[in-house]
Structure 1
Amino acid sequence: MRKLDQQLIIFSDLDGTLLDHNDYSIDAVVPVLNKLTQRSVDVIPTTSKTFSELQFIMPKLGLNTPFIIENGAAVFIPKTILMSQPEGTESIQDYWQKSFTQPRSHWQASIEQAKRQFEGCFSLMTEMSATEVAELTGLTEKEAQRALQRNYSEPISWHGSVEQEQCFIEFMQQCGATVLKGGRFLHIGGCAQKGIAMEWLMNVYQRDLLQQTGQQKDWFSIALGDSGNDISMLESADIAVRIRSEHHDFPILSREQGVIDSDSYGPTGWAECMSKILELNQ
């Protein structure tokens, strides 16, 4: 349970959690996001989406916070909130970037081998046109173009059986890849996970922001997500909020304490749970 002197920090999945799974709407969460902003609570989008997508989405959400892309592959911290470059980062446009894994090209040979072994069982997102991605995801074509600008991970659309899918996952794991299940795709990438990126960023908040502001803060983390690729951050946070999905079951966690399940789906469930948490922490 949070102590009165602890500062809240929110790590949130996007698709199916903060954004509606079907139409990506944010109407249900805007009032709560405004309350969090008024209370100086940072909301950190932690997503499978790309850097290009987040540059477009962050202003729509009214957020000027760090964000985590491609399932924990990289963290981007706006230079406006942290003037000194954190150790181990590089300067990318207006951000400090911390990468945790190999580039997408690292996995291409293994994926080509998998194509032969699992012929007809999957399609690579990055081999689709923007029109095809838009039809599959419900994104506009411009949004789909941003989704295709991937640096670290390879989303695949699975067409085979459940048994074949498990064999494919085991094959990619033997190649050294991590396979994460999202709301629509399997994501092939390195050993990066949302939870690893979250813990690194928490350390930056504790260390680098302290040096910049001179203010010591004790942080209390809340993570919200709906899918298997959210498990690592849900396990790492002080409070895990599982968002109900119309398309799959709650992600299975090893923890039992500090877990909240939403009654409503997607962003309505997000707003429901965060409103309750804010009421308890007034």
Structure 2
Amino acid sequence: MPGIALIVFTDLDGTLLDHDSYSHAAAAPALRQLRDKGVPVVLASSKTAAEIAPLRAELGFSHVPAIVENGAGVLAPGAGADGGDADYARLRRILATLPAELRAGFQGFGDWGPEGIARETGLSPQSAALAARRSFSEPGLWSGAADARQAFLDALAAHGVRAREGGRFLTLSFGGTKAAQMGAIAARYGNPFIVALGDAPNDTEMLERADLGIVVANPHRAPLPDMAGEDAGHIRRTTEPGPSGWNRAMLDVIVERGI
């Protein structure tokens, strides 16, 4: 897409959204300028399409793709909350083929249902129902014997299923990361200057691969360790947390890039 000079990829919880209130109000000035100047803002989160689609519309970026389920899939521009669940159904079928002793050690969102998801995550019943509408990946918990865990992962790998450790959950998918999806989406826009913002370990690869990575302060978690490119200025850190820090950082970028 000619004429795009900048593209922004952003994590949500604790980054664009306030850790406690989930509000993005503090980032409104920068978001408004980015919309007005035609800069695509790509939401990149562990959330499902059902969770992200209404937020993307609220922010005014429904015409921009979004990275969902921690990079396991992409929500196409203009697509609604239901993007199909063929990958998820296949993943659940693979789980069902595992030896009973291995399958019994893992409980995922598909086993819990909305009520169990709310119990395990602290989400409201409404939010848990949206989190249950999965298309690409299965988060869950391993409660089996420690020495059986690797056998479980190896059995999944034989079917092409990968496992990634998050803050709490072990997430199963057929691959895909925020960073890989970021590269593919940026290419569709002609590879403009990439800014990525995040606050958590699963954002690290995306932040380091961007032309400019911005670590948004989150006082509710330990700071990310020093990152590749930080000394050279390719990685910055905000002092203000969440959407306030996001707003200040992006207003600075808009001025610096002459957008």
**TM-score bucket (shorter structure):** 0.7 to 0.9
Quote how far apart the aligned CAs of 1:150 are. 0.6
Query: Conserved in 2, the CA contact under 8 Å of 1:243 and 1:250?
Result: no
User: Aligned to 1:244, which of 202, 212, 217?
Assistant: 217
User: Residues of 2 paired with 1:110 and 1:20: CA distance?
Assistant: 37
User: Residues of 2 paired with 1:266 and 1:123: CA distance?
Assistant: 32
Name the CA shift for 1:148/1:94 in 2 (closer, same or farther; >3 Å): closer
The answer to whether the aligner puts 1:116 opposite 2:101 as a matched pair is: yes
Name the CA shift for 1:6/1:15 in 2 (closer, same or farther; >3 Å): same
Quote how far apart the aligned CAs of 1:220 are. 0.6
Name the CA shift for 1:242/1:115 in 2 (closer, same or farther; >3 Å): farther
User: Residues of 1 paired with 2:125 and 2:81: CA distance?
Assistant: 26
User: Residues of 2 paired with 1:273 and 1:166: CA distance?
Assistant: 42
User: Aligned to 2:59, which of 58, 61, 74?
Assistant: 61
The one-letter code of the counterpart of 1:237 is: A
Summarize deviations over 1:177-231 as a string: whole Å, max 9, x none: 333344453322122111221111122112xxxxxxxxxxx61110111223323
The answer to whether the aligner puts 1:269 opposite 2:245 as a matched pair is: yes
Summarize deviations over 1:61-87 as a string: whole Å, max 9, x none: 2322221111222223325xxxxxxxx
Query: Conserved in 2, the CA contact under 8 Å of 1:182 and 1:227?
Result: no
Please give the residue correspondences for 1:32-181 in structure 2 after superposition, counting only pairs within 5 Å: 32-64=30-62, 65-78=64-77, 103-108=87-92, 111=95, 113=98, 116-117=101-102, 123-157=107-141, 171=154, 174-175=157-158, 176-181=160-165
User: Aligned to 1:227, which of 179, 200, 207?
Assistant: 200
Query: Conserved in 2, the CA contact under 8 Å of 1:242 and 1:251?
Result: no
Q: Give the equivalent residue in structure 2 for 1:14.
A: 12
Quote how far apart the aligned CAs of 1:144 are. 1.5
User: Residues of 2 paired with 1:165 and 1:36: CA distance?
Assistant: 49
**% of aligned pairs identical?**
31
Query: Conserved in 1, the CA contact under 8 Å of 2:53 and 2:80?
Result: no
Name the CA shift for 1:270/1:178 in 2 (closer, same or farther; >3 Å): farther
SS in 2 for 1:131: helix
Query: Conserved in 2, the CA contact under 8 Å of 1:14 and 1:47?
Result: yes
Query: Conserved in 2, the CA contact under 8 Å of 1:244 and 1:250?
Result: no
The one-letter code of the counterpart of 2:201 is: G
TM-score by length of 2: 0.77
Deviates further, 27-36 or 126-135: 126-135
User: Residues of 2 paired with 1:220 and 1:134: CA distance?
Assistant: 39
Name the CA shift for 1:157/1:10 in 2 (closer, same or farther; >3 Å): same
SS in 1 for 2:8: strand
Quote how far apart the aligned CAs of 1:154 are. 0.7
User: Residues of 2 paired with 1:197 and 1:237: CA distance?
Assistant: 12
Quote how far apart the aligned CAs of 1:160 are. 8.5
User: Residues of 2 paired with 1:183 and 1:46: CA distance?
Assistant: 16
SS in 2 for 1:103: helix
Gaps of 5+ in 2: none
What is the total number of aligned residue pairs between the two structures? 250
Summarize deviations over 1:232-251 as a string: whole Å, max 9, x none: 32232111112233224416
SS in 2 for 1:154: strand
Gaps of 5+ in 1: 80-91, 207-217
What's the C-alpha RMSD, in Å, of the aligned pairs? Answer: 3.6
Query: Conserved in 1, the CA contact under 8 Å of 2:208 and 2:235?
Result: no
Name the CA shift for 1:28/1:111 in 2 (closer, same or farther; >3 Å): farther
Query: Conserved in 1, the CA contact under 8 Å of 2:94 and 2:156?
Result: no
Name the CA shift for 1:226/1:166 in 2 (closer, same or farther; >3 Å): farther
Deviates further, 40-49 or 27-36: 27-36
Deviates further, 223-232 or 44-53: 223-232
